[in-house]
Amino acid sequence: MHETSAESTDDDLETHREAAANPAPTDTDAERHRLTAQIGEWARSLVLEPDDLVLKAMVDEALRIIPGADYASLSIVTRGDLIRSRAPSDLVPERLDALQSELHEGPCFDSIREHRIVRVPDLTDATPWPRFASSAVAEGVRSMLAFQLFVEVDSLGALNLYSKTPRAFDQAAEDIGSGVAAHASLALANAQKQGQLYEAVASRDLIGQAKGILMERHKISEHEAFLLLTKVSSKTNMKLREVAEEFVRTGALPGMVTD
């Protein structure tokens, strides 16, 4: 008969405790780490890309690695608090994004406004968006998954995934999509900052050109040329950059005669 000593039992218990505290890595863990590294590398590759290329790269990557997705797009909040579809992979998501913006209802709309993640197993079931759901089903879409894109506290929009199959998106799709959305938010924020910087430099150069032309034409000082541009801006209700751009392009100040 086999006997187990108290000492060996204690050793076995300690071994079990260590195993429980430090479980062996599984294939699922390895795959998750691989995907995380892959997504991070993809996001870093977008840092210096123009805004439009960043958006298209986000959609392409989402379709490639998130299981269940047939179509993808981005809904971006623009000036005036409007929501616009960007970089859709097909006409179907483009139309459905536009419909959600028009109706002010739908998974993508809710993702932007209220929730970080919205998963819809089957659009033929009862949903909070009956008008949108019926149109989506008519387009052949049966399930959806939307992730909020944000930078700091400001919501920028949503990453939208559409499937022709009901219940196409499971927890794995949600986990992978969350990683894509987090890195996409950072890449998009960087692209927007790059665009804002470029726009600021371009505006400064245009205003400088306009001032130079006015100084040469009217023999006035740089300060007087700038005051003239701001006067036109105020009178015409145009931005200073727009006034300078039109003047450089046409040689005439909009709404005023300077000769």
Q: What is the pLDDT of residues 44-75, one digit of tens each?
A: 444 434 466 777 888 898 999 999 999 999 88
* Tokens linked to 41: 């590398």
pLDDT given at position 124: 97
Contact 135, 109 (CB under 8 A): no
Closest of 40, 101, 42, 43 to residue 76, by C-alpha = 101
Integer angstrom CA distances of residue 163 from 92, 99, 184 = 11, 17, 21
Look up residue 233 and give its two tokens: 């801006």
Rounded Cα distance, 197 and 54, in Å: 16
Share of the chain above pLDDT 70, in %: 69
Determine the Cα–Cα distance for residues 259 and 244; give it in Å rounded to an integer.
17
Q: How far is CA 177 from the centre of its chain?
A: 13
pLDDT digits (tens, 9 = 90+) for 88-147: 999 999 999 999 989 989 999 898 888 789 999 999 999 999 999 999 999 999 999 999
Crossing angle of helices 27-45/171-218, nearest 10°? 10
Model confidence at 257: pLDDT above 80 = no
Name beta bridge partners: 72: 161
pLDDT tens digits for 169-227?
999 999 999 888 887 777 677 666 665 555 666 678 788 888 889 898 899 998 888 88
d(CA 75, CA 112): 8
- DSSP letter at 165? S
